[in-house]
Structure 1
Amino acid sequence: MDWTIWAGLAAGLLISTVTAPVGVSGAVFLLPVQLSVLGVPSPAVTPTNLLFNVVAGPGALWRYRRDAALHGALARRLAAWTLPGVIAGAAVRVFALPGPDTFRILVAAFLLPLGTWLCLRTLRPARRRPAPPEPSPPALAAIALTVGMVGGIYGIGGGSLLGPVLAARGMPMARLAPATLAATFTTSLAGAAAYAVLALVSPGPVAPDWWLGLACGLGGLIGGYLGARLQPRLPETALRLLLGTLAAALGALYAARALA
């Protein structure tokens, strides 16, 4: 068996174990691994990443549902607005934006300051930082629609963007993490289907690398379950610091790659 299959399995397992407790599938961290290490061509890397989300998602979601942590109302709102965005983003990715450079710059500009701010805000004494209000329904809809389009373009599902934004707006991690993972799974399923259709009418490597996507997803399925099982045992402060650190590290990684 090709070494990339085993490497993809290991990468999916490790990444999902770390990211599932904070509501992130791990696809945004898997993307540079697929591009730089596993050699998946662009834009096929996007549907391959979406396939990872589809296969990996049920592990963490099943565990969260078993623990009664998956609250349907928030998950439904996020999914309802990310779905149209991810379908539109898939079309933009195939026909107008096949290269990854713009994505790297946008991710770096968004996540690096947001992750740093989330970490600093979490470390400040509670008496000095009043909790901000949770986003209103219109604001939540606008955030989810925008994140869905970005997720459709780059195959990241959206949890890595939704998580830091909603955490920074004061939403508890125990409520946030299962809902963002559920929205990521739903939008990834729609996005993968959209790319399968677009592959029929577009030249070039648009279809996913099926075997690699399934291998990464299998690792993510196991890792997501393990990460979701760990989440209730981790304090809120640790989860927010983990999410902020992951966001800032990812922003720094993409900034370095964009400037290289």
Structure 2
Amino acid sequence: MRGGLARRLVLWTLPGVIAGAAVRVFALPGQNLFRTLVAALLLPLGLWLCLRTLHPARQRPDAAEPSAPALAALALAVGVVGGIYGIGGGSLLGPVLAARGMSMARIAPATLAATFTTSVAGAAAYAMLALASSGPVAPDWWLGLACGLGGLIGGYLGARLQRHLPETALRLLLGTLAAALGAQYAVQALS
């Protein structure tokens, strides 16, 4: 968590999540459009991660981590998307960085730090935007605290278990979960 990757991800996802919250409140207020957007992001992302895990691209050992400008652009874009659908962004950063070949041991703490920081900033942004909006956009604080506590416990346990699980299994699990969640949102958007 002390590494430069975590700092860079947090630095660039924060402005994105605030901008994304404003986009969600003022430009994408409907549930159906929201579900379609989430499905369009998570389904291909999960499938891409599974395919890259089963059929990895040949890379130089130093090519796994994106360049500083590419990482900044990725984190900013993920922050915007995370702000739009009210999550920290780790659910998107993790699969993208894993598909690029970075190790899960390096990705997990950095994306958890970005997720925690941007979740807090996103909740604050939605609370402020609720004052300027006529719709129901204020966060449900008790639900958020319960989910946050569950996420902290799950994150701790996952970090303890991670080193005992094969990297390929973790990548496939992450890809499958992202694709399944995307498929579920697609079904909900179509019905």
The 5 A counterparts of 1:1-260 are: 70-124=1-55, 129-131=57-59, 133=63, 134-260=65-191
Q: Which secondary structure does the structure 2 equivalent of 1:155 belong to? A: coil
1:71, distance to aligned residue in structure 2 (A): 4.1
Using structure 2 for the length normalisation, give the TM-score.
0.89
Matched residues in 2 for 1:147 and 1:74: separation? 15
1:196-236 CA distances to partner (integer Å, 9 max, x unpaired)? 22222322322222222222323333222222211111111
Matched residues in 2 for 1:120 and 1:92: separation? 31
Using structure 1 for the length normalisation, give the TM-score.
0.67
Q: Which secondary structure does the structure 1 equivalent of 2:59 belong to? A: coil
Structure 1 residues 198 and 224, CA, compared in 2 at 3 Å: closer, same or farther?
Answer: same
Structure 1 residues 207 and 113, CA, compared in 2 at 3 Å: closer, same or farther?
Answer: closer
User: Is contact 2:10-2:118 (8 Å) kept?
Assistant: yes
Matched residues in 2 for 1:110 and 1:97: separation? 15
1:174, distance to aligned residue in structure 2 (A): 0.6
1:20 paired residue number? none
Q: State how many pairs are aligned.
A: 188
Identity of matched residues, %: 82
Matched residues in 2 for 1:114 and 1:190: separation? 25
Q: Which runs of 5+ in 1 are unaligned?
A: 1-69
Q: Match of 1:74, as an amino acid?
A: L
- Bigger relative contact order, structure 1 or 2, given CA contacts below 8 A and separation 6+? 1
Deviates more, 1:191-200 or 1:180-189: 191-200
Q: Match of 2:12, as an amino acid?
A: W
Matched residues in 1 for 2:23 and 2:52: separation? 35
Q: Which secondary structure does the structure 2 equivalent of 1:141 belong to? A: helix
CA RMSD of aligned residues (A): 1.8
1:97, distance to aligned residue in structure 2 (A): 1.6
Structure 1 residues 89 and 226, CA, compared in 2 at 3 Å: closer, same or farther?
Answer: same
Structure 1 residues 210 and 107, CA, compared in 2 at 3 Å: closer, same or farther?
Answer: closer
Matched residues in 1 for 2:145 and 2:7: separation? 26
Q: Match of 2:190, as an amino acid?
A: L
Matched residues in 1 for 2:141 and 2:116: separation? 17
Matched residues in 2 for 1:232 and 1:244: separation? 18
Q: Which runs of 5+ in 2 are unaligned?
A: none
1:121, distance to aligned residue in structure 2 (A): 2.9
Matched residues in 2 for 1:117 and 1:151: separation? 19
Matched residues in 2 for 1:156 and 1:249: separation? 17
Structure 1 residues 224 and 96, CA, compared in 2 at 3 Å: closer, same or farther?
Answer: same
